[in-house]
Chain A
Amino acid sequence: MTTRTQTATLDALRQTIARIERRPSLKDTTTNSENVAGALPVPSGVMHEVFTDATRNGGATLGFALAQARHLLTPQRPALIYIHLLRDSQEFGLPYAAGLARFGFSPEEVLLARTATITELLWAAEEALACQAVAAVIAEIRGAPKQFDFTASRRLSMRAASAGASLFVMRYGTGREASAAGFRWHLTPERSAAMPFDAKAPGAPRWLARLEKGVLDGRVNGQWLLEWREHGLLECVSPFGGAAEHAAADRRSTLHGSEPAALGDGLSQTG
């Protein structure tokens, strides 16, 4: 009897906290996992921060954000909005519609917004999140601008929670400031999967995603080795130990040292 009242109280408390935080409660997070396809049962209406160590990994973070946003697209919410600073376009490269089409995004769904200042970028992100037809917003923020402080991130995460659209903020570097993001990821690219019929060609992209903040699938500080295929995200080997082992095995199997010379000889014509 006592345990039942205790759980009831605990539930009520959780609900209260969730209401305060305007975020789906942790319980919902786990129950959502069936209706979300793919490996990561991430609910919608959350703000993510995706960190990676250097800007040269920008392709991997964009892929990771897109892979998650793909599951959020519905007929009611058909749009995905990518916002970046105009001066960063050469630094990161622009999302390329021909590459996106390969992963199932049609160019009508993806809108690019280029702003001149961080303030405008934050405004655009908030405005886009508030729209009922937007599934996800991807915002690119290089460095640690003064304007993107805790208040700004809190504002954005509340907007995401109230409208039900997800926000992915892509961050670069090793510094971490206080933020109100529901999930904070640290992403590193991994060796790609083997390409069938051609061992020397790069295959499907793989990333090692470490959850630095937030609870997903009942795990704190979870770590996933993910692979992105045309039909969605795939978890390669689930828990942490296995992933590292897998990565090591993968590394052993691929070319090393003097191998590039061999690469040139047996040049693949599958291109």
Chain B
Amino acid sequence: MVLNLPLWATDCLRRAEPSLSPDLPLVLYEKNKGAMRLVALDALAAHAGLRAEQSLAEARAQLPTVQAREIDRSWTSAVFADFADWHSWASPLVAVLEDMTAYGDLVLDITGVSHLFGGEEAMLERVTGRLAAMGITVFGAIAPSIGAAWAISHHGRESRILAPDEVSAALSGLPVSALRLNGEQVAGLAQMGLKSIGQLYQRPRKPLQARFGVSLLTRLDQALGHVSERMTPRLPPAERFAERRFAEPIGLMDDVLAAAHDLAIRLGHDLEREGVAAHSFHLFIYRVDHKVLSLSVNAGRATRDPSHITRLFAHRSERLEGGYDPGFGIDMIRLAASSVDTLDETQMGVFETRDGASDLDRLYDRMTARLGALAVVRSIFVDTHVPERAIKLAPAVSGETNSVLPNTGLVRPLRLLPSPEPISVVAAVPDGPPAAMVWRRVRYGFVKASGPERIGAEWWRAHRRLDLLAPLDAGKTDRDDKPEQMPLLPNLEPFDSAAATRDYYVAEDDGGRRFWLFRLGLFVPGADPQWYLHGVFS
């Protein structure tokens, strides 16, 4: 199914700004090289004879009552993305066709879905009817191929359904521009006197390819369904999901969670039948006014237990706080499972020993759902001598385990300050142990000290600057062809391993407090050494 939304930009602005008068024409303009050109018109403006690419001044002269707004591209695309996602209430596979117009065409794969709405006609009517009720101009078409549906929805100017055997007859009368061709190709075909698609059917293909490129033939074949066309859905399709539609929109989060529990039971049964369980669950909440709210939770151990899943969502929803806004109501929710793993049914045995490991995993899941993934962490040893890097904190649900054994013979503090704090130290001999220090404006006199333990910096990093990692999505080219801007490189000194060598001391003050402090760099006679406090002992 293709939905053609010719006036989406203006329709959407009218919905967002009710102060705009519905009886006066509305246009959107954009500043381009100093000139203000129209980019979107509504039906009234188009009817009055304005066109896109016209300058704003000309349009104002032609039609003095016109209301003009500057287009906010980022806002409009964000709303359109939401709008596209919201259509997954009808079908899980929704794609945006961006090659012809920026906002305008949605493709829904409705294979095996339409019976839920009582047939294709009823579905088309339901989808377009909902949009029309919102004040959005829409033309929909259902056809065996994306190309045919696009052609019908753009040029038929009415909602229509094509059966597989009607395609070539229906397309033959349409102009060639209905094949999603570029301007040059259309103009070239017109020169040859080829105006309608039907005239192309009998033409020899080789000369056409030689003159217009292979894309013309591909488009023709795609429209006729000889070649299949791939669509890239916006949301990854969930293989396993359960959904529920509400006759009356609901609003309270508690109601949503109660419904989610029902869905979790259904999904749990489905997963159990397949002998699998999932690590991640996603709850999509569809609002009446084209918005989708999605919540995701992760479980450390693959699960299909409905009460556990619901509890995770309950905790996750508490973290939303002010972010939950049901708008005019919620009319559908969907619970999807991903990261599926096999989990065979287990029998609770008589000789089972309760080791509490599963309880613990569930506790971590709950805490992670409520507090966030980076809030619940576990220490992982890293094979290095630098104290602050010898331990890293990994999320408890990530399931990362220790592979490096710690060296328990080393004297290490019980608490480590995440960043060492500079202190001023008095030492009896310049390269000797500290005798007193001032830390956080309090003076401590030391009575015992041991050390130094020298921890050298990693020599293989010497004379190297900080590296910048390449951004991960380097392969994705931007639509606006701005030149790639290089990130600003700070003018850092190359890493000097000798200057980063540390001499650690354990020092105890007269009150029995033990500190771990270090002197930075190798001792140089005459230079003032820098001291830092890095940890406290029990």
Contacts and interface: CB of A to CB of B under 8 A. Distances in A.
Nearest to A54: B442
Contacts of B366: 127
Nearest to B507: A202
A207 B414 CA distance: 15
Contacts of B261: none
A58 B536 contact: yes
Given A59-B514, A96-B415, A201 B448 contact: yes
Given A254-B448, A260-B446, A97 B379 contact: yes
B506 interface: yes
B367 A128 contact: yes
A113 B538 contact: no
Contacts of B34: none
Nearest to A79: B360
Given A134-B360, A192-B512, A201-B506, A94 B416 contact: yes
Specify the main secondary structure of chain B where it touches its partner: mixed
A267 B418 contact: no
A101 B406 CA distance: 7
B377 A268 contact: no
Contacts of B451: 268, 271
Contact of A107 (B380, B433, B439): B380
A96 B391 contact: yes
B538 A63 contact: yes
A76 B356 contact: yes
Interface in A198-242: 198, 200-202, 205-207, 228
B452 A96 contact: no
B364 interface: yes
Contacts of B535: 93, 96, 99
6 closest cross-chain pairs (CB), A and B: A63-B538, A133-B356, A93-B415, A201-B450, A97-B379, A59-B536
A190 interface: yes
A93 B450 contact: no
A108 B402 contact: yes
A92 interface: yes
Given A107-B380, A115-B375, A58 B415 contact: yes
A198 B450 contact: yes
B160 interface: no
Nearest to A61: B538
Interface string B515-526: 000000000000
Contact of B442 (A56, A93, A206): A56
B433 A108 contact: no
B393 A112 contact: yes
Interface of B: 354-357, 359-360, 362-364, 366-367, 370-371, 374-381, 387, 390-391, 393, 396, 401-402, 406-408, 410-419, 427-429, 432-433, 435-436, 439-440, 442, 445-453, 506-508, 510-514, 535-538
A178 interface: no
A251 to B, nearest CB: 8
Interface of A: 56-60, 62-64, 66, 75-79, 86, 89-90, 92-103, 106-108, 110-116, 120, 123-124, 127-128, 131-134, 188-192, 195, 198, 200-202, 205-207, 228, 254-256, 259-261, 263-265, 267-268, 270-271
Contacts of B381: 97-98, 107
Contacts of A268: 450-451
A120 B449 contact: no
A76 B354 contact: yes
B508 A191 contact: yes
A117 B493 CA distance: 39
8 contacts: A63-B537, A93-B535, A112-B377, A128-B367, A202-B514, A205-B538, A228-B538, A263-B428
A98 B406 contact: yes
Contacts of A228: 538
A101 B366 CA distance: 27
Contacts of A198: 450
A134 B359 CA distance: 9
Given A57-B513, A202-B508, A260 B435 contact: yes
A120 B362 CA distance: 18
Contact of A113 (B367, B401, B414, B448): B367
A59 B370 contact: no
A120 B453 CA distance: 40
Most B-side CB within 10 Å, residue of A59, A114, A254: A59
Nearest to A131: B363
A156 to B, nearest CB: 16
A263 B371 contact: no
A61 to B, nearest CB: 9
A110 B506 contact: no
A95 B393 CA distance: 11
Nearest to A259: B447
Interface centre among B357, B402, B536 (most CB of A within 10 A): B536
Contacts of A76: 354-356
A191 B512 contact: yes
A111 B364 CA distance: 9
B371 A124 contact: yes
Contacts of B450: 195, 198, 200-202, 268, 270-271
B513 A271 contact: no
A128 B364 CA distance: 9
A89 B512 contact: no
B371 A97 contact: no
A206 B512 contact: yes
Given A113-B376, A133-B355, A207-B512, 16 more contacts: A63-B538, A79-B360, A86-B375, A93-B536, A96-B535, A97-B379, A100-B414, A110-B379, A133-B357, A189-B513, A201-B449, A205-B537, A259-B447, A260-B436, A263-B449, A264-B429
B414 A62 contact: yes
